[in-house]
Amino acid sequence: DAGITQSPRHKVTETGTPVTLRCHQTENHRYMYWYRQDPGHGLRLIHYSYGVKDTDKGEVSDGYSVSRSKTEDFLLTLESATSSQTSVYFCAISRTRELYEQYFGPGTRLTVT
């Protein structure tokens, strides 16, 4: 199994509060991704990183920010959580840009009340 951990695994928070999710990898892969998974939509890309301090937006980036200060850590921040951000969040890593080999973390279930 690829060495990817996510923390926390479950979180309940109130609308308007900031939330930070952490993804940690031990594979030294260059590319890291944050996805959200919602019923009927499949996984959708929020943000991704192609190196330390190098990040870019994905399909559903509004309301989210990311940071990557070390190769192994990729943080996803909800500056002011809303109920529409209730979802399961997955981190993924890839050694190459081509995404022909992508591995996923265990997921974080976030509930915004």
Partner 1 sequence: AQKVTQAQTEISVVEKEDVTLDCVYETRDTTYYLFWYKQPPSGELVFLIRRNSFDEQNEISGRYSWNFQKSTSSFNFTITASQVVDSAVYVCALSVYNNNDMRFGAGTRLTVKP
53 binds partner 1 (CB under 8 A): no
- The smaller minimum CB distance to partner 1, of residues 16 and 51, is found at 51
The footprint of partner 1 on this chain (CB under 8 A) covers a number of residues equal to 29
Locate tokens 């330390």: which residue?
Answer: 52
- The smaller minimum CB distance to partner 1, of residues 71 and 109, is found at 109
- The smaller minimum CB distance to partner 1, of residues 18 and 97, is found at 97
Nearest CA to 49 out of 80, 23, 26 is that of 23
C-alpha span between 109 and 107 (Å, rounded): 7
Residue 93's SS3 state is strand
Residues 64-93 that bind partner 1 (CB under 8 A): 88, 90
